[in-house]
Chains A and B, each alone.
Chain A
Amino acid sequence: MKETEVKDAIDNILANEPELIPSSGFLASVMERVQEESAAPPPIPFPWKRALPGMILAVGIIGWGGVEFASHAMQSGATLTLHAPDLPVVVTQHLQQAGWIAVACAASLASWLFARRLTGRSGLL
């Protein structure tokens, strides 16, 4: 019964842990956080009523844009040959970077305005 004896030794050690006594402020600290949570206003529900028209409009515009782009690309794809202006590489790179920055700024502005519109604090839209 060697295994049982060894099991007992491990059992004795692991089962007889000294007991921790909660620190004196533990109860008060838990209750303080509970009180804070209960006093906090309920979370603001997402304003679906306000957001839905905007979301539908955005999806519609993006979809319409995609369809238009695809149809134009298909029509002109076969005949159109693009002649890029003969610019130095450095200028092209700068123009590209400036373009991306402009797109990022426009996206940020649009999302900020949209967020203000959703929360009903807009004086702009």
Chain B
Amino acid sequence: MEAPAQTGSAATDAADVARVLAGEVRAFEGIVRRWQGPLINMAWRYCRDRSRAEELAQEAFLRAWRNLASWRGESSFSTWLFALAANVYRNDLKRFPTVNVPMEDVTEPSGPATQHSVLAERSRDESVRRAVLALPHRYREPLVLFYFHEMDVSAAARSLRLPEGTVKARLSRARALLRKRFPHLEDEAQSPELPHQTQRKEA
């Protein structure tokens, strides 16, 4: 995924915001064009439902439009936008939660011996990603934002408006829960690399 923090230039964002605040509605299109991908992908990580992700992202853009004047340039536009979007997604998902299976009901694909195909690997990956949604809320969101921000703890902390230490502690707990649920990942990490994994890395 394209690095969200690097998408679009800060100067362009600031210029577009100034134009919108001056009454030029069309200038908001540039902001949407630049940030639609990151905001939809962020929403996708929260709900894993494509159409809902787009609805959530649209709601986040509308909220941004209404509150554009509250961005005073103290933080970068992206930081402000991601924090606002996280707030929109969190509140919406509180009101209409995604249908999650409990953590203990997330099925772990069979052991590494049978996972010698790309299909099995994809299925395992999807199980792990779905398991994230089954994590308790306080651990889920830091994990979602940490990986969305390409494993940048401080960016995740800024989006959550939480201290970095808190985010680190919750990340550690979230990872521990996932490791407990997927013990085969340990075996796999120890086992020699499979041919298709090598191919993927090279690609």
Contacts and interface: CB of A to CB of B under 8 A. Distances in A.
Contact of A22 (B2, B36, B125): B36
Chain B, interface SS category: helix
B92 interface: no
Which of B28, B66, B185, B188: most chain A CB closer than 10 A? B185
B147 A37 contact: no
Given A22-B40, A34-B25, A38-B25, A13 B58 contact: no
Interface stretch (A2-10, A65-73, A103-111): A2-10
A11 B57 CA distance: 25
B40 A7 contact: no
B interface residue count range (under 10 / 10 to 19 / 20 to 34 / 35 or more): 35 or more
Interface band, chain A: 20 to 34
Contacts of A30: 32, 36, 58, 61-62
A52 to B, nearest CB: 29
Given A8-B189, A10-B175, A17-B1, A22 B54 contact: yes
Given A2-B190, A6-B186, A14 B132 contact: yes
A17 B179 contact: no
- Can you list the 5 inter-chain pairs with the closest CB atoms, starting with the nearest? A5-B189, A14-B147, A9-B185, A19-B1, A22-B36
Interface of B: 1-2, 25, 28-29, 32-33, 36-37, 40-41, 44-45, 50, 53-54, 57-58, 61-62, 65-66, 124-125, 128-129, 132, 143, 147, 150-151, 175, 178-179, 182, 185-186, 188-190
28 contacts: A5-B189, A5-B190, A6-B186, A7-B175, A9-B185, A10-B128, A17-B129, A19-B1, A19-B37, A19-B41, A20-B40, A20-B41, A20-B53, A22-B40, A22-B54, A26-B36, A26-B57, A26-B58, A27-B32, A30-B61, A31-B32, A33-B58, A33-B62, A34-B25, A34-B28, A34-B61, A34-B65, A38-B25
Interface of A: 2, 5-11, 13-15, 17, 19-23, 26-27, 29-31, 33-35, 37-38
